[in-house]
Amino acid sequence: MTVNEMLHVRMKHGKGDPQKAADYLLSDKDHTGKTRSVQPEILDGDPNTVAKIASMTTRAHKYASGCLSFRDSEKPSMAQQRAIMKDFEATFLPGLEKDKNYSIAWVSHLDKGNLELNYFLATTELTTGKQLNPFPPGELQQEFIDAWVQNMNHQLGYNQVVADPLKISRSKFEKKILPLKEATSEICIQAKTHQQIRDNLEEIFKSAIDQEEIKNRQDIINILKEHGDITRVGDKYISFKPEGELKAIRLKGSIFEEGADYQAIKQQSKEFEKSKNKPTDLTPDQFKANREKIDRLKQSRHDFFKKQYQPKEKKVRIFGPKSMQAKTKQPAPLAPQQQTQQQPQNAADPHGVMAKLLVEVRQEIKQGLKQQEQVEKLDNKKQQLSKPSDPILLKSTNENNQSKSESFRPAISSFSQVATSSRAALLTVQIGKVLFSKLNLELQLGALSIFKESDIKKIFLIKQKIAELDQQIAVLKAQQEQAAESELIQQNAARFKQSHSLNRMTI
């Protein structure tokens, strides 16, 4: 009976050149340099695009890669493959949209005789440029992956993968060297020798655990000392140098860990032997427990992604003098029904919102000018009433005419002040227009992504326009300051003339 077993293998790569990873996935040669018997096939996305996006970040971790490996000669249908890929993304990237929040590519390899669905993900969130990690940190990551793999195998009708508790892990170096069967260098021969030593040790420990000769970790160390030297002991490994060997071997596995339960390992070993001859499946309770764990972790990752990548709302600022804003009456609050009706419209039409704000600013400026003009007229009347009344001067017609001309001077001064103030106000309106134009461009800029090729050129042009508007704002503000300074000079000159004329009259 042929039984399929799907495995998830996560690659340790991610810090190197992303383009090299893409080239390997699409290459007609495998990692040994041999020509593949079956050419790679792109199932979804574009590895080259993912590589370009991954290369844009300056972070050390640029991408994540791995594969879903299906053992034996059987392979799932194309519909099943697409369903598996879709469920993988929905599970480990919940709440995110492909090509909007993340960029991923899937490539199938069949050259080893079995199907491998390779995924290649740029670990950059597209809308913010922040780091994107599809897997939760710590030991929870492996629990998450194991639960998903077990339930997916159950749904596909595949045999569950039962790990051999007595299996001694191989080093990364040996995993790369051992497949090179034709390699005859000294280091390759050493790697193969170490693998043979590991196989022999597995048989020794299996027999000792079955006969209950191993009760604790010290018993493991004593057996190893009979066949060589112990060079180092860690929490999860023991370094052992066999007799006649120059290089020590790091032994890793459940039996070498500190505090290992060898009675439990014995029972797990029996279950593993049974699984070789009889297909294993999840019980309903096991499937339900895995489903609950997956749902809980998916929700946790969904909430984290939402908090991490949710765009912040920009506050729309109303430009103009604060005094004018303070004098304007605040509009009455809308009823809840009117608020619900207006909010979707404003959100859908940001240009309409800015146009409305611009109209409000203009009205505020006009109202401020009218109030300022009324204040200045009142000041002129006060100045006329405060002038001394000389009966002798009033009797003379010429002096009376002169008095009228002198009394008219404050009005002319007031007119000049209004004119100067009007120019400053007009400059304020112009600055408001330019600032709103800049705000509009900044809103457009916020909707674009630096990680999309189609948006890069738009971003460059918008930034150029924003720089031009900044220069225009600086020029207008300088002109506004000059107008205000001119107004102050004219006011002081008018006051000086007025006081000088009063002094002449009194003399």
Residue 120 to residue 491: CA distance in whole angstroms: 72
Q: Give the model's pLDDT for residue 418.
A: 40
| Count of positions (residues) in the chain | 507
Kindly report the backbone phi and psi dihedral angles of residue 252, in degrees, each rounded to the nearest multiple of 5, phi listed first.
Answer: -125, 140
Quote the pLDDT of residue 34: 87
DSSP 3-state of 126:
coil
Structure confidence by residue, pLDDT tens digits, 115-135: 999 999 999 999 889 999 998
Residues of CATH 3.30.930.30 domain(s) within the chain?
1-162+283-312
- CATH for 1-162+283-312? 3.30.930.30
What is the distance between the alpha carbons of residues 121 and 35, in angstroms, rounded to a whole number? 25
pLDDT tens digits, one per residue of 315-370 = 555 555 544 444 444 555 545 444 444 444 444 444 454 555 556 655 655 666 66
pTM (2 decimals)?
Answer: 0.51
Give me the pLDDT at residue 393, please: 40
pLDDT value of residue 373: 65
State residue 250's pLDDT score.
Answer: 84
Q: Following DSSP, what letter does each residue of 323-368 receive, concatenated?
A: HHHHHSPPPPPPPHHHHHHHHHHHHH-HHHHHHHHHHHHHHHHHHH
Report residue 437 as tokens: 């134009």
Where the chain has pLDDT below 70, the residues are 1-6, 72-74, 161-163, 169-191, 274-280, 312-422, 450-453, 500-507
Cα–Cα distance for residue pair 264/505, rounded to 1 Å: 117
Report pLDDT for 457.
74
Q: How far is CA 135 from CA 47, 50, 89, 281, 486, in A?
A: 20, 18, 11, 26, 66
Distance, CA of 245 to CA of 451 (rounded, Å): 52
Asked if residue 40 lies in contact with residue 27, where contact means CB atoms within 8 angstroms, the answer is: yes
What contacts 342, CB < 8 A, 6 or more positions away? 334
Residue 497: per-residue pLDDT: 73
